[in-house]
Amino acid sequence: MQTITQKLANPTRFMQLSGIVLPWIAGAAAAILCYGLFLVFAVAPIDYQQGETVKIMYIHVPSAWLAMMAYGLVALSSFGLLVFRHPLADVSAKAAVPIGAAFTFLALFTGSLWGKPMWGTYWVWDARLTSVLILFFLYLGLMALRSSLDDESTAAKLTAVLALVGVAILPIIKFSVDWWNTLHQPSTGLTSTIDPSMRIPLLIMALGFTLLFFAMHMKAMRNEVLRRRVKALRLSDIARRDGRTSQPTPAAG
């Protein structure tokens, strides 16, 4: 009797299932993002202090949330690869790293644009900003380490070790605003301190971003599986052709 994860870990079954699910997730992400953007720009009120710049929040907060969630997924997949040796876990980790790096960059970039009108500077070395920047470097390190090794299975496992070592950054980012007295505000926890007229668009945007992430992640995983299949086919083709030419043909013999 297989568990659900074992069933899903079969690449063939994953390709079948994800082929069915992916259009729905992507469609839902597009619809929710459209609705969220409509709420943000047409319905949500502007802040009495921040003016229109408060709208940056609806991009910044979901990006920052995804930057961390993506690393969590990378770490979880790495754990799955090292402990359970699922080949699909590596596909998942490999696919999630560039997407996570992109969202981390987006969080830093939008935060910087928001910081200029609010704090008067594009960048400060406060604990939250610094720790997210380190997260970005970690993503870059993961990509660089993977690309510098020729053997794919060694690269996968070494990257997984680095991902697990780097997981210590996640609690530091999460609690940096509580541990240190920083310029970046502490998390509102999406509770009473943010008015429903802004909280609900923010939650919808966060949901849309999360679905967008999973759609892109699934698509990237599918591409990676296909890439590996093409590579395997090419290798077997070359092996077959080599085998034919190296054998003496009866006519020549």
Partner 1 sequence: MKAFLSLLTRDLRLAARDGGALGTAFGFFLIVVALMPLGLGPDLNLLSRIAAGILWIALLLAALLSLGRIFETDHDDGTLEVLATGPLPLELVTTAKALAHWISTGIPLALLAPLLGILLNLELKAYPVLIATMLAGTPAVSFLGAIGAALTLKARRGGLLLALVVLPLYVPTLIFGIAAVSAAAGPDGLTASFLILSAISLAAVALGPWAAAAALRIQMQ
What are the residues binding partner 1 (CB under 8 A)? 82, 130, 134, 137-138, 140-141, 144-145, 148-150, 154, 157-158, 161-162, 164-166, 169, 172
- CB of 115 vs partner 1, minimal distance in Å: 21
Give the H/E segment covering residue 48. none
User: Could you tell me which of 58, 35, 60 has the C-alpha nearest to residue 46?
Assistant: 58
Residue number, 33 or 131, with CB nearest to partner 1: 131
Amino acid at 94: K
User: Could you tell me which of 175, 176, 159 has the C-alpha nearest to residue 75?
Assistant: 159
- CB of 98 vs partner 1, minimal distance in Å: 16
- CB of 126 vs partner 1, minimal distance in Å: 12
Q: For residue 47, report the phi and psi dihedrals to the nearest 5 degrees.
A: -75, 145
Structural contact between residues 79 and 165, judged by C-beta atoms closer than 8 angstroms: no
Residue number, 32 or 173, with CB nearest to partner 1: 173
Q: Which residue has the tokens 């995804």?
A: 66
Residue number, 55 or 94, with CB nearest to partner 1: 94
Residue number, 4 or 168, with CB nearest to partner 1: 168
Q: How far apart are CA 124 and CA 171, in angstroms?
A: 21
Residue number, 24 or 137, with CB nearest to partner 1: 137
The distance from CA 185 to its chain's CA centroid, rounded to whole angstroms, is 24
- CB of 82 vs partner 1, minimal distance in Å: 8
What size, in residues, is the chain?
A: 253
User: Could you tell me which of 78, 193, 85 has the C-alpha nearest to residue 145?
Assistant: 78
Residue number, 56 or 74, with CB nearest to partner 1: 74
Q: How many CB atoms lie within 10 A of CB 36?
A: 23
User: Could you tell me which of 31, 32, 52, 27 has the C-alpha nearest to residue 42?
Assistant: 52
- CB of 223 vs partner 1, minimal distance in Å: 24
Q: Where are the alpha helices (DSSP H) in 166-193?
A: 169-179
- CB of 149 vs partner 1, minimal distance in Å: 6
- CB of 119 vs partner 1, minimal distance in Å: 21
Residue number, 8 or 82, with CB nearest to partner 1: 82
